[in-house]
Each structure stands twice: as structure tokens, then as C-alpha cells.
Structure 1
Amino acid sequence: MNATELIATNLTDFINMSSDEHDDHDHTDTNIAKAVTMVILFIISMGSGLIPLLLARFFNWSDPNRDPRTNLIVSSLLSFGGGALLCTTFLHLLPEIEENILELQNENLLPKWEFSITNLLMGIGFFIIYLVEELVHRYLRKHQKKQLHAQDAFIRGLSARDSLKNATLRHERENKESKNGIITVSTADLIDNEHIDHSHQHSCHQHQHSHQHDHHNHSHIPAIDGDDLIVSSIRGLLIVLALSVHELFEGLAVGLEHEPQNVWYMFGSVSAHKVVIAFCIGVELMVHKTQSWLMIVYIFIYAIVSPLGIGIGIWISNGTGSDSFIIASVILQGLASGTLLYVIFFEILSKNKEGIWQYVAVVVGYFLMFGFKFIAGHSHSHSHEIVDNEIDDHDHDH
């Protein structure tokens, strides 16, 4: 090997080494960017979701004697959240599911059917939450009947004891009357009647006091407010879980990016609508009087799933992921869309009737989310190219 060839070989090795070092440097920068976005996304989502709780305490929205204008504000916020979820479901979630399913079908990871798998999954998710709510209501109604029967038995027991006590007193008076002859029959009857009336009033007053005391301590099952609290808590959990599946996939798209600038670009588009939806979830939970600690837990679950998705995206991009996870994510997204559909139409829009103001709030929420979707449209189309390429790369590795 002459000197020229030796120099050329060394130069090539130097260039390759520099390229590898540059790739490692870019990979490190990308991972740092992803880690930072995980922390920021969690903080802003958690903060946005807890804002309605702070507003409720500041304006005393839980006071039953609050200003009617406050009721209008709360209902409008809930309708605003319904409009935002409506746009998220039809213009954001469903198109993404359809696109991902088509990609999986093209890769022969899902079967090709003549009907839309997206609509099938949405219908299944709809009926799942429908069944869950019916089962919960059925359990509560059965539990309520048992408590009512127990209450009736308690009342009958009081009446029986009062009757036995009155009969015993009457018998004792008759014995005294026969021995002493002092008390006349009419007077004895009057005393008995007065005692019976007094005893009956005392018994009723005692039972009424017991009922009020039980109700005050929320131990009286027929109080419907407690049952509604259970139903609203379960419904809130279902809303959070449904949206969390989608946000997990959003975080996955961020985690699959290969360039730092693309990571930040995707972060902007994801965080823009995630913050709004977190606020809407907080409003929904607050309006349905979810307990504060439970509300914090729900918001925490929603806030943590996107950073978790970013971490899973990093895991997949390093070649340790699997196609089965991607398939499961798409299927869960489809089921989640049906869950949101039920919540929007049957639990938000149908139960809040505030006239034209409700309509305005729904429209504002819808088109605000549409604006975020329109602005972030380019970044989402770019992210799907990355996800598709990741599926292709994973298939080639196999």
C-alpha cells in the first residue's frame, strides 16, 4: 500500500468516525429533548386539569345557594368541554385511527374487511360504557331496595314495641282500677288515649330524628346524592381512561421522532390540545362533584400517560418494541372513541339545557379545538410518516 492509499484509507476512517460521533451526538440530543418534553408535558397538563378545582373553591361553586349566574358559568364550561371533545373525537381521533388501521392492513398486521374496522371498534366501545353504566345503576337500585326494606322493618318494629308497651300499661291500669276503684273508665280511657298519642308522637319524632341524623351522616342509602356520586366517579374514570389511551398514542408519536427539532415541533402540537382537554376533564369532574382527592388522581392519570407514551416511543425506536403493542394501541384507540361518543351525547350535551348559551359554548369549544387541529395539521401528518416508517423498519428487521 503506497502513501496515497494509506492517506485515503485514514481519511475515510476519520470521516466515518466523525459521522458516527455526530450520529451519537444527535441521538443524545434527541433523547434529552424527549426527556425534557416528558417533564414539561406532565407539569402543564396537571396544572391545567387542576385549574377548575381551584376556581370552584375560589368562587364557591359547590354552594347550593350560589348565584344563578354561577350555574350558567359552570354549565357553559361543561358544554365547552363537550364541544372540545366532540371535535377531538370526529376530527382528530377517528381520522388517526382510520389511518393507522389502513397502515396496519397494508403491512398485513390486520385483516382487510369490507366494512370499516374503525366504526366497528367505536360501536363496541360505545356499548361497553353503556353496559358498565347500566350495571352500576342496577347495583345501586338493588342496594337501595334492600335498605328501604330494612328501614320498613325498623319502622314496623317500633310500632310493634309501642303497641305492646301500650297494652301492658292499659292492663296495669285496669288492675289498679279494679282494686282501688278510684279512676273512672272515661278518665282511664282519656289517659290511655293521651299516652298512646304521646307515645306515637314520641316514636315518630324519634324515628324522624334518627332519619335526619342518618341523612346528615350520609349513611342513609336512599339518599340519591351518594349514588349519583358513585356513578359520576365511575363515569369520570371512564372519561379519563378513554382519553388516556389516545394521549398515550400521541406521546408515542413524539417518542418515535429522530430529530430534536421534530421532537419540539410534535410537542407543541400535542401539548396545545392536551392542555385544553385536561381543563375540560377538570370541569367535567368538578361539575359532577367528584371528590377532590379522586379528581387529583384522575388528572394525574391523564397527565402521566403522554410522558409514558414518549418513553415507550423511545423504547420502540431503540429496536426493543413490538408490532403487537402498536396493534393493541390502535384497537384501544378505537374503543376509546366509542366511549367518548357516549359521554359527549348522553352525559354532557343531553343533561345540560341552558338554551342558546349552551349552544354557543359547544360551538366555541368545537372550533377552538378545530383551530388547534388546523394549526398542528402539518406536524401530525409528519408524525404519521415517522410512525409508518417505524413499522416498516421493524418489519424489515424481522
Structure 2
Amino acid sequence: MSGQASNLSDLFDDHDHDHDHGTEDSDGVVLAKGTAMAVLFCASMICGLIPLFLARKLRWVSAAEATDMKSKNRVIMILLSFGGGVLLSTTFLHVVPEVDEGIQYLQEKGKIGELDFSLAQLLMCCGFFIMYLVEEIVHMYIHYREKKNGRNAPLVRNLSVRRSRASSEGKENGDKSVTTSTADLIDPASIIKGKDIEINGQGMHSHSHSHGHGHSHMPVTSSDDVTSALRGLLIVLALSIHELFEGLAVGLESSTAHVWYMLGAVSAHKLVIAFCIGVELIATRTKTWVAVIYITTFAIVSPFGIGMGLVLVGGDSAAASGVYSVVLQGLASGTLLYVIFFEIWKNDRTGILQYIAAIFGFALMFGLKLLTGHSHSHSHDEIQSHSHSHSHDVGHGHSHN
């Protein structure tokens, strides 16, 4: 009898130890996600405000007064290409396999039936097309407002930073305003076109001639201030849509190492975009308080996405939290795919340096993946092992750990 009592005591001690260990791990993941939210927000704010700070300190009144910005624009393009390589590696070597593992886990638990197709890839494609549709709707509304008011909205550009090497001998259609992705909503390349800015009694009118087809207007009359601010905010929100899903991808991770891994991947391109927005706000001479609102809006969406993931799954994996979390993670992977090919690597080439930067970004995240791969390979096994051990401990009075 005493031996059985001792075994029973050891059983509960082991179970309590496993539970405490799991709680500590979960708390660590929650803490990592909270830290990631703060870091991503602060870093995005800093990168976005740096151009505004420099504009004040260096007395940058207009884009024309910035020096050597063409070479800096090339640097920005290379950094974005690096971010594209980072996201490509993250999407196909981390997020999609994790979604696939989550689906397999749910199928083993009977929550998802056996399918004749790959659900992970289908979810990724759905996320891609959802993002495509949302952006097209936003752009339709923006251009409808432009036609209705007879002018372009602030921040709208036909040229993105990724297209700044387009030939200047091409089309001269300065009055055409058609954007096809949120990449077209910011244009750091405009800072090398600033000498074409004209200021008259009606407002500021900025033309782009260096690349052949950029054109923007930014009325500065007091009656248009509110309308312009609201339009610019809408455009920044459109630019921020995929950032929300990227944050969600971070928030749905199940281990501390994976949270930091995804944070690095998202930051690699978000911080560059934040800087680009700040530069563009200088070029359009946006009021300081309006610019701060734009930058804050862009900076906060990714942390908000992380917070959404944290609320949904806490410190557990997406699979352990149910079908909806795995579905959201799959949709987020499609968003990353959209960002890579429609935002970063779209219709431009800056030479071999861009290629090298992309390869370097891919290789860097692949190396980090190898370092964190061990913990990832056991994440779902640990969930299954804990569940299996708990059920047998209660049902049979002994542990299989």
C-alpha cells in the first residue's frame, strides 16, 4: 500500500513538473511576443521619423535640397531586395512547413478530414488572392476620389522605389495616375526629382521628368488640408494591410526562437518601408503632425497583428489552438508571398547587387533556420507527447514520460 502511495505521489509530482515546465515555456513565448510588439513599433517609428528629424536639423525644405540621394535610393533598393530574400526564405522554409505540420496534427486529432490536395498551399494561395483583391479595391477607391476631385492624393506615385531605374526615354504620360500595388504608394525616388517642384498661389505641384511618367499633386490650401490628410491616411492604411498579416504570422508562432526568427524577417523590409514613407513625406511637404500620424499608423499595425496572434493562441502553437489559427497562419503565408513578388521584386532590376542582396537575405535566414530547426522539429511532438502523457496519467495511474 505504501509503495502504491509513493508511486501515486511520484506520478503527480512528475505531472506537476511537466505542467510547470510547459507554463514556463508558454510564459516565455508570451513575453517574447510582447517584446517583439514593442521592438517592432519603436523601430518602425524611429526609421519613419529619422527623415523628418534630418529635414529639420539639416534644413531640408524640399527634395531638391537633399544631396546625393540617387545613390542613397540605390541603397534603399538593395535593402528592399535583401528583405525580399529574407521573406522568401521565411515563407517557404518556415511558415509554409509549419502550416503543413499544423494541418497534419489537426488531421491526426480528427479536427480536419483527409484531403486529396495540399491544404497548406491552398491557404497560401487564398491569402495571396485576398491581399490582391483588397489592394485593388483600395486603389479603385483612391483613383475614384482622384478623378472626382481632379487631382492626385498625397503620397500617390506612379513610380515606386523598385521602378526608379525605368528608362526616361519611354512614355510621357505625366497626367496618368494608375497604381497597381502598394509599392506604388510611396516613392523615395521622387527625392531626386525635387527640382521640378513648382510653388504658386494655389499650392504645390510636383512633376517627375527624370523617369518619364511620374506625376503628383499635393494641394496645400487650408480648405484641402483635412481631405488631403484623410486620403494620405487611407493610402498608408492600404500600405499597412499586409503588415498586419505579417504581424499575425509572428503572433501565431509557438516558441521563443521562432518569434525572434519571424521578427527579424518582418523587420528586414518593414523598417526600410518606414524610412521610405518618411522620405516621401518630406518630398510632399506634408505637415509634421500629419506625417507623425501616417508613420504611427504604419508602425502600429504589425504590433497589432502580433497582439491578435497572441490573443488567439497565447504561448501555444497555432495547431494546438484550433483550426482557425492554422487557417490564419496559412493566409498570412500567402500575404508574405504577395509582398515578395508584388511589392519588392516587381518590374525592376538594379543590377547584380540586387541579386546578391536577395541571395544574402535568403542564405541568412536559411542559416538561422538551421540553428532553430531542432526546436521546431519537436514543437508538435512535444504537444502530442504532453497530451498523451496527461491522458494516460489520469486514466491508468502511471506516466509514459
TM-score by length of structure 2 reads: 0.63
Distance 2:8 2:115 in 1: 52
Cα deviation for residue 131 of structure 1 reads: 1.6
- CA gap 1:292/1:345 in 2 versus in 1, 3 angstroms: farther
Cα deviation for residue 303 of structure 1 reads: 3.4
- CA gap 1:145/1:311 in 2 versus in 1, 3 angstroms: closer
- Secondary structure at the residue paired with 1:111? coil
Within a 5 Å distance, the mapping from 1:288-327 to structure 2 comes to 288=277, 289=280, 291-303=291-303, 305-306=305-306, 309=309, 313=313, 325-327=321-323
Q: Which residue of 2 aligns with 1:144?
A: 146
- Secondary structure at the residue paired with 2:202? helix
Match of 2:239 among 233, 236, 239: 236
Distance 2:19 2:99 in 1: 34
CA contact (8 A) 1:125 1:338 kept: yes
The letter for the 1-side match of 2:220 is N
**1:47-84 deviations in whole A, cap 9, x for unaligned?**
44445335545666994534122111111112211221
The letter for the 2-side match of 1:277 is V
- Secondary structure at the residue paired with 1:113? coil
Q: Which residue of 1 aligns with 2:127?
A: 125
TM-score by length of structure 1 reads: 0.63
Match of 1:287 among 276, 285, 301: 276
Q: Which residue of 2 aligns with 1:192?
A: none
Q: Which residue of 2 aligns with 1:194?
A: none
CA RMSD of aligned residues (A): 4.2
- Secondary structure at the residue paired with 1:345? helix
**1:165-193 deviations in whole A, cap 9, x for unaligned?**
xxxxxxxxxxxxxxxxxxxxxxxxxxxxx
The letter for the 1-side match of 2:270 is I
CA contact (8 A) 1:44 1:275 kept: no
Cα deviation for residue 116 of structure 1 reads: 1.6
Within a 5 Å distance, the mapping from 1:192-211 to structure 2 comes to 209-210=201-202
Cα deviation for residue 378 of structure 1 reads: 0.7
Distance 1:322 1:364 in 2: 32
**1:230-266 deviations in whole A, cap 9, x for unaligned?**
675234322212212211210xx13xxxxxxxxxxxx
CA contact (8 A) 2:48 2:275 kept: yes
CA contact (8 A) 1:75 1:352 kept: no
Q: Which residue of 2 aligns with 1:204?
A: none
- CA gap 1:17/1:233 in 2 versus in 1, 3 angstroms: closer
Cα deviation for residue 217 of structure 1 reads: 0.6
- CA gap 1:113/1:218 in 2 versus in 1, 3 angstroms: farther
CA contact (8 A) 1:46 1:278 kept: no
Q: Which residue of 2 aligns with 1:385?
A: 381
Distance 2:223 2:81 in 1: 33
Higher helix fraction: Structure 1 or Structure 2? Answer: 1
CA contact (8 A) 2:86 2:268 kept: no
CA contact (8 A) 1:278 1:302 kept: no
CA contact (8 A) 1:247 1:306 kept: yes
CA contact (8 A) 1:130 1:342 kept: yes
- CA gap 1:365/1:59 in 2 versus in 1, 3 angstroms: farther
Q: Which residue of 2 aligns with 1:71?
A: 73
Distance 2:132 2:19 in 1: 51
Which of these two proteins has the greater Rg computed from alpha carbons? 1
The letter for the 2-side match of 1:234 is L
- Secondary structure at the residue paired with 1:350? coil
CA contact (8 A) 2:240 2:301 kept: no
- CA gap 1:216/1:305 in 2 versus in 1, 3 angstroms: closer
Pairing 1:337–2:333 present: yes
The letter for the 2-side match of 1:209 is G
Name the % identity: 31
Cα deviation for residue 327 of structure 1 reads: 0.6
- CA gap 1:45/1:96 in 2 versus in 1, 3 angstroms: same
